Amino acid sequence: MIGFYNYTVILTFMSVVSAVLGMTFAHNGRIVEAMVCLALCGLFDALDGRVARRKTDRSNDEKLYGIQLDSLSDAIAFGAFPAYLCFCIGVRGSIGIVAIIFFAMCGVARLAYFNVLETNDFFSDDPPKEKVYHGLPITAIAPILPIFYLLHLIFAPRLFSLLLTALLFLIGILFISPFTLKKPKLWVLLVIIVVVVAALILLIISSGWMDGQLIIWGD
């Protein structure tokens, strides 16, 4: 079997599994479950790099394989999956479809640029540089979308759809904008996780999931 398979890639593959499950949930109108899957994709991605760096005996081919695998996984988990999820929760019409396509294309463009930078750094003899994000990382959609989805509890469906459409355009622009962000420290990631978990709990309660009756907005 081609490829390199060890414990460092398990979380990356789990992100793909979660994304595919999330798309099936979204297709069947189970939006809250889909949001949980998106949050899990973000969690798996936040951990997989830390796990991989702990394995110090990886060959160059294994490291390069990890770079490519991570980006391909991200294209599914944070590009295709959120795009389809937004379609399922109300981003429709000509402008909405353009927003979804724009978001996905900008995400893929950013990942391709990331691969170029990572590969160049890998083969460079220069001292290691401080790790920064160039543009908004595509993984940022994992915490943003579940939190933003809470607005559907406040705004009318039409207004929420317009706001979500605008959000897709904004995030797409930030994906490819020429600015840098320092990678967040562990405590920042923990705060983000807590906020997302709180948002998911609110969504679960508001959906009636606790009573075994999942009520999806727009049904």
- Give residue 128's pLDDT: 63
SS3 (DSSP) at 180? strand
204: Cβ–Cβ under 8 A, 6 or more apart, which residues?
A: 32, 210
In whole angstroms, how large is the CA radius of gyration of the chain? 18
In the numeric block, which tokens belong to residue 92?
């429709």
Output the CA torsion sign for 79, 41, 196, 113. negative
Cα 81 from chain centroid (whole Å): 8
- Give residue 59's pLDDT: 87
Residue 200, φ and ψ in degrees, nearest 5: -65, -40
pLDDT tens, position by position, for the chain (219 residues)? 788 888 889 999 999 999 999 999 999 999 999 999 999 999 999 888 888 878 888 888 888 998 899 999 999 999 999 999 999 999 999 999 999 999 999 999 999 999 998 888 878 777 666 678 889 999 999 999 999 999 999 999 999 999 999 999 999 999 999 999 888 888 888 999 999 999 999 999 887 754 444 444 344
Q: What is the DSSP-derived secondary structure letter of residue 181?
A: E
* Alpha carbon separation from 72 to 16, 65, 68, 116 (Å, rounded): 9, 11, 6, 14
Which residue ranges form the domains of the chain, and what is each CATH number? 7-123+131-211 (1.20.120)
Distance CA 138, CA 141 (A): 6
